[in-house]
Structures are given as structure tokens and as C-alpha cells.
Chains A and B, each alone.
Chain A
Amino acid sequence: MIPGRWLHRFASFWCGTATREQIVEPLLSDFQHQWIEARGGRVMTLLRGYLAFWQTLALCTLRGGWHWLLTAPSRITFERIFVWAYAVGIVLVIVFGFAWVRTGTLDSTAGLVAIRKLIATFGPGLFLSHYWPRARRLQTRTLVLFGFASGIALGYWIDSDGHLGPVLYNLLYLPLVWNPLAWAVTRFHYRRPRSVK
């Protein structure tokens, strides 16, 4: 069976039409022709082909993500990207954390504390910055503030070594990091209203 069929199916799901036609399909067609023409050393041909595919796909994903970030229609979209990146970060930490614990690279207690600290440190602040702009009614705003306070309290309880670390970070990072960043993006990038297709 000719290689690259599964990669082609994956690329059809993952990439846009232009990327698939202009970048992925030429790569796969060259890979398949090279594999057909290879008399010996087909394993190396396969490895090189697969490596090139994943390198190219990673590059396309980075370029696509950056382009999407630059052309995002509003600050809300920017916030959504940030929150999603945070969620993906947590998932990655959990996945790699378990892998490290299993291989003995990381002590299991230290790994769990690291994950809980990560959630306690960034979670409440992100929750507030994500939901506060959307909350219009007084009840909703109260609920958001209550959620934020609960998150901080939970962070205080979770971090047994330095109680005040997550609390201070949550209180400081909003005015010192998130708000200036959001202001800068709004001021310099989303200055003009963009048309949404």
C-alpha cells in the first residue's frame, strides 16, 4: 500500500483547502513518487517523508495561527485565544506531568502540586478577565466576582507552601499584565473596526 494516504486524510481534516492543495498535496505526491522509485532504503524514505510532513504541518499551523491572531475581528477573540491557549497549556502540563511521573523524572506529589499551583495561579484571573467583559447585569457581575473570589480562596488553600503567592499573583497580574496587554492590543491592533465575513 502506498504511504501517505492516512496523512492526506489527516491534512484534509486539519488544513484549509488552499494549504492542502498548495503545500500538503505537493509534499505527499513527491513523497509517494520517491517511495515508488526507491529501490532500496525504503525505510529511510518513509522516515524522511513523515518527518517532512510533520515539520511542514507544524509550520503551516504556526503560520495559520499567527495569521488568525492578527486578523481576529475583536478583542473578545483575542481573549478567547488566550484562554484557549491557557487551557491547552494545562492539558499539556497534565499529559507531560503524568508521563514524567511514570518515568520517574518527576515525583508524583511534586507533579500534582505543580499542576494545582498552575491552575490556582492563573485560573481565577483568567476567569475574571474572560467573563467580566461579557457580564452586563449586576447579578452576573456579582456571580463573576464571587467565582473570582472563590478561585483565589481555593488557590490559598491549595498552595500549602506559600499561601499568598497565587492570591497576590491573581490580584497583581490583572492590573500589571493582562490589562496593559489587552489595552495595547486593542489600541495598536484593533484600532480600526474590521469587517467580519
Chain B
Amino acid sequence: MNSSLPRLSHTEQLILSLLSEGETFGLDLVDRSDGRIKRGTVYVTLARMQQKGYLASRVEAANPGAIGLPRRLYQPTALGLRVMHAWALAARAFAGQLPQEV
């Protein structure tokens, strides 16, 4: 079994952290990120995170009479949350906030 920590970019970390507060859509992530997530790249990042297994998505149920395409909603998977917590722990350990085992 490969025990190495899966890679997680800053943007992916931010997306997971925003999604851990609840299921939402891409543009909402952009609005809540204070400009750290760009609208031109967020959907590509979300698709990549789904391929990695960090996110799951579903298409919103369309209301009768609704116009336009139905929204796609994203939520983190158990793997995504585990990777995010692992990276948060690693970052804290690196910053010296956790006792180091010798």
C-alpha cells in the first residue's frame, strides 16, 4: 500500500475547507474565497479534485418551469476530508505547534 501523503495544492485545500461547511456550487466558492479562487479556473480544479476522489458532485434537481442549466453541487468525500486534515496536521507540525516524536 502506498502510504505517502496525497498531494493537495493551496487552492484544493481552500476548496475543501469551504466545502466542509456545506454543499455548494462553484461560483459560491469563488465569492467566499475573497479572490483567492478565480472563476476562470475553479471548475477545472473542481473536476480535477473529483478525479482524485476528493469531491463528489450531483446535479441539482430542476424546479418545474426553471430556465437554464441545473446547477452542479459539490461536497467533500471522506478521502478529501482525511487528506485535508492530514495536510493541516502536517502544516501545524512543520510550524512547531505539535510535539515532535523522535
Task: List A residues at the B interface (Cβ < 8 Å).
Answer: 2, 4, 8, 19, 22-34, 36, 48, 51-52, 55-56, 59-60, 63
Cβ B40 vs Cβ A30 within 8 A: no
Q: Chain B interface residue count: which class?
A: 10 to 19
List, in ascending order, chain B residues with CB within 8 A of A48's CB: 39
Cβ B67 vs Cβ A36 within 8 A: yes
Cβ B68 vs Cβ A36 within 8 A: yes
Is B36 on the interface with A (CB-CB < 8 A)?
Answer: no
List, in ascending order, chain B residues with CB within 8 A of A30's CB: 25-27, 71
Cβ B47 vs Cβ A23 within 8 A: yes
Is B16 on the interface with A (CB-CB < 8 A)?
Answer: no
Contacting residue for A26 out of B40, B41, B43, B67, CB 8 A: B43
Is B44 on the interface with A (CB-CB < 8 A)?
Answer: yes
Cβ B70 vs Cβ A55 within 8 A: no
Cβ B41 vs Cβ A27 within 8 A: no
Cβ A34 vs Cβ B27 within 8 A: yes
| Bound complex: CA A51 to CA B38 (Å) | 11
B39 to chain A, nearest CB (A): 4
Is B72 on the interface with A (CB-CB < 8 A)?
Answer: yes
List, in ascending order, chain B residues with CB within 8 A of A8's CB: 69
| Beyond A26-B43, A29-B71, 16 additional pairs, beta carbon < 8 A | A2-B67, A4-B69, A8-B69, A19-B47, A22-B43, A26-B26, A27-B26, A29-B72, A30-B27, A52-B39, A55-B40, A56-B40, A56-B41, A56-B44, A59-B41, A59-B44
